Amino acid sequence: MKPNKKNAQSKNYLDYIPKRVETYKWEQDKNGNVTIFVENKGAFNRIAQKFFKKPKVSQIHLQGIGNKIWLLIDGKTSIYELGIKVSEHYGEKAEPLYERLSEYMRILEQYGFVALNQE
C-alpha cells in the first residue's frame, strides 16, 4: 500500500515551534506582565492619529497564563513542550491545556506576533 502523500506531509499542530516576530517590541514589568507594542503605520492610521488622537503605538497587555507562555516562546520549544512547562507551573488551572494553548497560538499567529515553524 502506497503512503498517502498528504498524510506523510501533514504534521501535528502541537509539533510546531512558535517564534516571536522581532518586528514587535515588548517588555516585561516587575510583576511579570508582558506588554507588546504595535506601531500604527499607514495612511489610515496617520489620519486617525491626527484627527482622532489615536496613539502612534498601541500597547497589547497580555493576561494570566498568556504572560508565561510569551516568556517561554524561544523559537526552539514546540507547542507541546510549552504545554508541559505551563502545566508544571499552573497545574489544573491551565486545563483544558492543549485546547487553550492551541487557540492562543493561533491568535498570536493571526495577529503576526509569532510565526509557527515545523520541526
CATH number of residue 30's parent domain: 3.90.930
pLDDT at res. 52? 81
> Which residue's entry shows cell 486617525?
48
pLDDT at res. 94? 92
pLDDT at res. 11? 66
pLDDT at res. 41? 81
Cα–Cα distance measured from residue 74 to residue 72, given in angstroms and rounded to the nearest whole number: 6
Q: Cis (ω within 30 of 0) for the bond into 96?
A: yes
Q: For residue 86, give its domain range.
A: 11-117
Of 71, 67, 88, the residue nearest 20 (C-alpha): 71
What cell does 101 get?
494553548
What cell does 83 get?
504545554
pLDDT at res. 47? 82
Q: Is residue 1 part of a domain?
A: no
Domain count for the chain: 1
C-alpha 87: how far from chain center: 17
Q: Is residue 95 part of a domain?
A: yes
Q: Is residue 90 part of a domain?
A: yes
pLDDT at res. 3? 44
Q: Count, in order, helices (H) and strands (E) of the chain.
A: 5, 5
Q: Outline where the chain has alpha helix (H).
A: 5-9, 43-52, 65-72, 79-90, 97-110
pLDDT at res. 36? 96
* List of the chain residues with pLDDT < 70: 1-11, 119
